[in-house]
Amino acid sequence: MLTPVLTIDGPTASGKGTLSRQLAKTLNFHYLDSGALYRVLALHLDRQGLNPMSAISDRDLEQFARELPVVFDDDRILLQGEDVSGLIRQERMGSLASEFAAKPAIRHGLLQRQWAFRRAPGLIADGRDMGTVVFPDAPLKVFLVADVEERARRRTKQLIEKGISVNFADLLADLRARDARDQSRAVAPLVPASDARILDGSFLSINESVQQVLHWWSASSRLA
């Protein structure tokens, strides 16, 4: 029997990360932060002097993705041995990741790496296309939504707490641009899987969201 996967997809700053980590802890499952993979790859390509408009073949781009020298070590993310956990959270890396993520060669090159996270006893996979493309056989797929202004408020608060100065209007505009790009791209657009459960987290506490997902999870496990 395949190791079970619970997928959590949704737009930027919808609270997927917090919800997924909490679920992984409660169920004692592994955790895949696929957005972090896209961010690290964007940083790696940026450091090679490449940008989303660079003239580079799909073959080379896919190879960069396949061979990305990244290690996930608990909460630390190491790129060629350097801890880049803070660096990849910058808004610039999020935007760059979103632009590179529109390229099929990049998405294809990262598939194998994402599948490698599927280990017993189970996996919480967090991203945009976890339920539609990467783990279409997951017994439970959750699509988390939240009002865009509420997401911008949360993200502003998070960044300020980290000592990073932000402008709410710029951040809101950036979130809207990123949503539009993620939803309209030709490959693996941000859409709920046809069998996904939609969870509106706008006005739920993290604990309420966790309880709802755990309830769905135990119901789907009973059916399996």
Pick the binder of ligand C5P from 35, 109, 131, 201 (CB under 6 A): 35
Q: Toward ligand C5P, which CB reaches closer, 101 or 210? A: 101
**Cβ proximity of 199 and 145 under 8 Å:** yes
Subset of residues 71 to 100 that bind ligand C5P, contact rule: CB under 6 A: 94, 97-98
Q: Does 178 bind ligand C5P (CB under 6 A)?
A: yes
Pick the binder of ligand C5P from 7, 14, 20, 34 (CB under 6 A): 34
What's the min distance (Å) between Cβ of 178 and ligand C5P? Answer: 5
Q: Toward ligand C5P, which CB reaches closer, 62 or 129? A: 129
Pick the binder of ligand C5P from 4, 7, 23, 39 (CB under 6 A): 39
**Cβ proximity of 44 and 38 under 8 Å:** no
Distances (CA, A) of 18 to 141, 154, 206: 16, 12, 8
d(CA 194, CA 113): 25
Q: Does 131 bind ligand C5P (CB under 6 A)?
A: no
What's the min distance (Å) between Cβ of 103 and ligand C5P? Answer: 10
Q: Is 130 helix (H, G, I), strand (E, B) or coil?
A: helix
d(CA 64, CA 113): 12
- E-strand ranges in 88-221 read 123-127, 140-145, 197-200
Pick the binder of ligand C5P from 23, 101, 175, 199 (CB under 6 A): 101
Q: Does 129 bind ligand C5P (CB under 6 A)?
A: yes
Residue with tokens 């991203």: 127
